[in-house]
Amino acid sequence: MILIDNGIGDKQSEKFFGYYYLNGDQTLQKSLHTAGVDFGDITDVVLTHLHFDHCGGSVQWNSGKTHLEPVFKNAVYWSHEDHWQHAVHPNPREKASFISENILPIQDSGQLQFVSSDLTISDNISVIMANGHTEKMMCPKIKYKDKTLVFAADMIPSAAHIPPHYAMGYDIRPLVRMEENERFLNEAIQNNYTLFFEHDLVNECGTVKLENGKFKSDQLFALSDFI
C-alpha cells in the first residue's frame, strides 16, 4: 500500500499548532481507517517534498516520549536525493519549513530511499519533477486503468492555482514555477490528466482546459468519481 504525503502530524507543541488553522478534526489515522488501512499496511511513503505540512505525519514520539520514530514501521520512505540535501541544509527562506525532527529520524531508521534516475516508484507510479516551489519536488503520476492521475502537491495546490501566474508566496522561484506550470498544463490537456489538489478544501480533483489563451479548470470532482 502506497501513501503519498501524510500531513502535518501531531507531535509538535501547542504553540506550534497555534500558528496554523487546521481544518476539521480528521487525523491521518482516522482517514486511513476510513479507507480500511492501518499504519502497518503501508509499504511505501512517497514524500513530494519535506515541508512540514507534507511530511510531519512521517514521525511520532515513542510511547515513553523519549525518542522519535517513523510512524510507518513497514514502509520505505521515498524522497529525491537533491531535495533531501536541500532540506537538511536549508536556505534562510525555507528554514522554518524544514523541521529536523520530521526528517532525520527517517534516515536514522534506515527506511529512507531515494528515487532513482528513471524517476519511478512502482510499475504504475512515476514522478514529475518541479523546482519552482522548492528544490526537486516530486509530483507522482499514477496510471490507473486507462487514466492518469497527477498528485499536484504544491505545484498546483488547489483548483484556484491553475493559472500559472497565480504563484504562492512560499515559492522560492516564482518565475520558474510559472514556466514549469505552463509546460505541465499543456501536457495535462494533451494527455487528459486528472489533477489531485492536495490543499483544496472543496475540490479534490479536476481536469484543465485552455480557453481564449488562458488555462482554466474544466471539470471538478471527487477522487471517488475518478476511481
Say yes or no: 58 and 140 in one domain.
no
Say yes or no: 128 and 197 in one domain.
yes
- Distance (Å, rounded) from C-alpha 227 to C-alpha 223? 6
Say yes or no: 85 and 175 in one domain.
no
Of 62, 90, 114, the last residue of a domain is 114
Predicted pLDDT at 54:
97
Say yes or no: 24 and 65 in one domain.
yes
Say yes or no: 107 and 171 in one domain.
no
Task: State how many domains the chain has.
Answer: 2
Of 55, 84, 114, the last residue of a domain is 114
Say yes or no: 137 and 223 in one domain.
yes
Residue 143 structural domain: 121-227
Grid cell locating 180: 514549469
Q: pLDDT tens digits, residue range 55-78?
A: 999 999 998 889 999 999 999 999
Say yes or no: 154 and 88 in one domain.
no
Whole-model pTM: value is 0.95
Say yes or no: 130 and 213 in one domain.
yes
Say yes or no: 217 and 131 in one domain.
yes
Predicted pLDDT at 175:
97
Predicted pLDDT at 64:
87
User: What are the DSSP E strand ranges found in 35-184?
Assistant: 44-46, 59-61, 68-70, 76-79, 112-114, 120-122, 125-130, 137-144, 147-151
Say yes or no: 41 and 100 in one domain.
yes
- Distance (Å, rounded) from C-alpha 37 to C-alpha 43? 11
- Kindly compute the dihedral angle of the four CA atoms of residues 80, 175, 192, 221, in this order, to the nearest 10 degrees: 90
Say yes or no: 105 and 196 in one domain.
no
Mean pLDDT of successive 10-residue segments in the chain (227 residues)?
95 88 84 93 98 96 92 97 97 95 96 95 96 98 97 97 93 97 98 97 97 97 94
Of 114, 148, 179, the last residue of a domain is 114
Whose cell is 525532527? That residue is 101
Predicted pLDDT at 27:
87
Domain CATH for 187: 3.60.15.10
Say yes or no: 106 and 134 in one domain.
no
